[in-house]
A = this chain, B = another copy of it.
Amino acid sequence: MPPTDRIRDHAGQGAATTVAAHRTRRRLRADQARQLADLLRHQILTGRFTDGTLPHETTLGTDYGASRNTVRQALDLLRAEGLVDRLPGVGTIVAARKYPHGLDRLMGLAETLHEHGRVTNEVRTLGPAPAPAPVAERLHVQPGADVLYIERLRRLNGLPLSLDLTYIPLDIGTALLDADLENTDVFRLLEAITGQRLGHAEITLEAVNADAHSSAVLQAPRGAAVLMLERLTHLADGRPVDLEFIRFRGDRITMSGLLHRSL
């Protein structure tokens, strides 16, 4: 069976009845729009539309072998994500910028985004609090012993990027009470306080819908997709010193890295 027949088989375009064929066409339009949207998303995120304007719909249709309706639907998907906007008389423009956070190296936010602007931190809560059992266990302190708890809203050039909840053992954390948390990554402060480099971190990433309060704090729509990062960071000598729960606005951050087949 030649490849083209296979496509028909799988897509069901060979179906006998008109109704089935029509259903298939509709399903395929949405699928094609998603496919095109994913390709355009990559171009947007990597800054390929240098003047901030996407090509005309007709050009996109020709370039990507897509119908006018598919192109429109793809642009609708990207508009719903907040990535593009339509300006009357101008066309489709890139509306949002996503910033790349590295997955290859353990870095603080200001460190990783320094070329994109200035990171500032609004400290919402700061002070010692008794460590619940799961925090105590991971930070290797006695359950109920005080740890430093910090809650920060982090901004890049004034725009909310993430809401960070941080737990630090108090023997190290106390020195943070007098530090410039508004303008400095906790990572840098931990290295300054301990005189040690950080070593490694165990991370877990999830996509979650923001609850009402978190989205209000992040100034994002309710239910907005959030990239949730849980990170337990250790000093170079292996001691766990920093447990964090970070909600990144999904429309402002991407995480990039390199994976290898063999370890």
Contacts and interface: CB of A to CB of B under 8 A. Distances in A.
Interface string A221-263: 0011111101100001000000001001010011111111111
A198 B201 CA distance: 26
Interface residues of A, number: 85
A255 to B, nearest CB: 4
Contacts of A97: none
A255 B228 CA distance: 10
A200 B259 contact: yes
Given A39-B134, A100-B204, A208-B225, 10 more contacts: A3-B177, A4-B128, A6-B177, A10-B124, A10-B125, A33-B213, A103-B203, A199-B261, A203-B258, A205-B205
A106 B63 CA distance: 32
Contacts of A98: 206
B39 A135 contact: yes
Given A35-B165, A127-B6, A132-B63, A106 B259 contact: yes
Nearest to A135: B39
A260 B3 contact: no
A127 B4 contact: yes
Given A3-B128, A223-B223, A204 B45 contact: yes
Interface in A43-59: 43, 45, 48
B63 A211 contact: no
A133 interface: yes
B165 A260 contact: no
Nearest to A222: B223
A197 interface: yes
Nearest to A228: B207
Interface in A24-68: 30-31, 33-35, 38-39, 42-43, 45, 48, 63-65
